[in-house]
Amino acid sequence: MLAPKRVKYRKPHLTALRGYSKGATEIDFGEYGLQACENGWISARQIEAVRVAISRKMKKGGKIWIRIFPDRPVTEKPLETRMGKGKGNVEYWTAAVKRGRIMFEIAGVPREVAEQAFRTAAFKLPIKVKMLAREGAGE
């Protein structure tokens, strides 16, 4: 699973996730892209599940670009632990995704296969998404 090699701060504060994506709002690498329609946290496990689902639908053909990276740690206190005594341990890593961000791109497959792959991928994600196509793709 994806996780950063090093981080500056081990347990940062959780910030609010508001507004629109600053960059990565257009398809830059592939022919088809999966765009976030709302803000949310995507865990490393969810990113891996989407990658596996897309690659299975594409059947060895085409190429996948993952344009998000889980660089935010999420901490959790153990079950049945009293309040206090500091912040919990890092349990998993998430990517902060804002509206409009292109999260995944694929190329080298027909439009029908891309639609099917992204439809399957959408079930693995906790946010609403939509498929985009580059100008002149799928012809």
Predicted confidence (pLDDT) per residue in 73-98, tens digit: 999 999 999 999 999 999 999 999 99
For residue 49, give the H/E element and its range: helix 44-58
CATH architecture for segment(s) 32-74+89-133: Alpha-Beta Complex (3.90)
Q: What is the pLDDT of residue 56?
A: 94
113-127 residue pLDDT tens: 999 999 999 999 999
C-alpha pair distances (Å), 24 with each of 34, 53, 93, 95, 99:
11, 22, 21, 14, 11
DSSP 27: -
Q: What is the pLDDT of residue 61?
A: 87
The whole-model pTM stands at: 0.92
Mean pLDDT of the chain: 94
When pLDDT is cut at 50, 70 and 90, the band that residue 137 belongs to is low
14-38 residue pLDDT tens: 889 999 999 999 999 999 999 999 9
Q: Work out the average pLDDT over 47-75.
A: 95
Enter the tokens of residue 30.
Answer: 């592939």
Which one is predicted more confidently, 40 or 1? 40
Q: What is the pLDDT of residue 138?
A: 62
| % of the chain beyond a pLDDT of 70 | 98
Enter the tokens of residue 9.
Answer: 């701060």
